[in-house]
Amino acid sequence: MNLVEPGPPPAPSGVVPKTREDNKLRVEDRAAHDWYRFVLSYPAHIVRTYVGRFGLDARHNVLDPFCGTGTTIVECKKLGISSCGIEPNPMAVFASRTKVDWDVDPDQLITHASRMAKLTLERFEEQGIQDEETVLRCFRWN
């Protein structure tokens, strides 16, 4: 088994830590991490910081025993590092599994979105809403 040993602790500093900005989601991480916010989550750049500090790469495996909505396993996947997460909360499990499932069929996605647009237009019509042009512009996939 290949265990990862952390390097020496950082030297003490008299500098007061930055504001809470370090614990906020960055713009570049929103696509993968901003569609469902978990109260106990942490931002993706923290995972990348520790991956770098520990010198992790594709030769390593990461275990996240409390993976929540999968921030660590998503970032590991993006970096090509094998990972495994454990989580008892069914909603968090669903979120993390969804976030690491990148095998989306674009044709099937367009078909589904088109069906949803058609259904939306039908529902609007049933309700007497005459805003078809706006809806068509919003849901134009082809």
Phi-psi region of 68 (alpha: psi -120 to 50; beta: other; left: phi over 0): left
* pTM attached to this predicted model: 0.60
Return the minimum-mean-pLDDT range out of 27-31, 78-82, 116-120, 136-140. Answer: 136-140
The C-alpha R_g of the chain, in whole angstroms, comes to 21
Phi-psi region of 70 (alpha: psi -120 to 50; beta: other; left: phi over 0): left
Q: How many CB atoms lie within 10 A of CB 140?
A: 10
Residue range 50-107, pLDDT digits in tens: 999 999 999 999 999 999 999 999 999 999 999 999 999 999 999 999 999 989 899 9
Is the pLDDT reported for residue 28 higher than 90? Answer: no
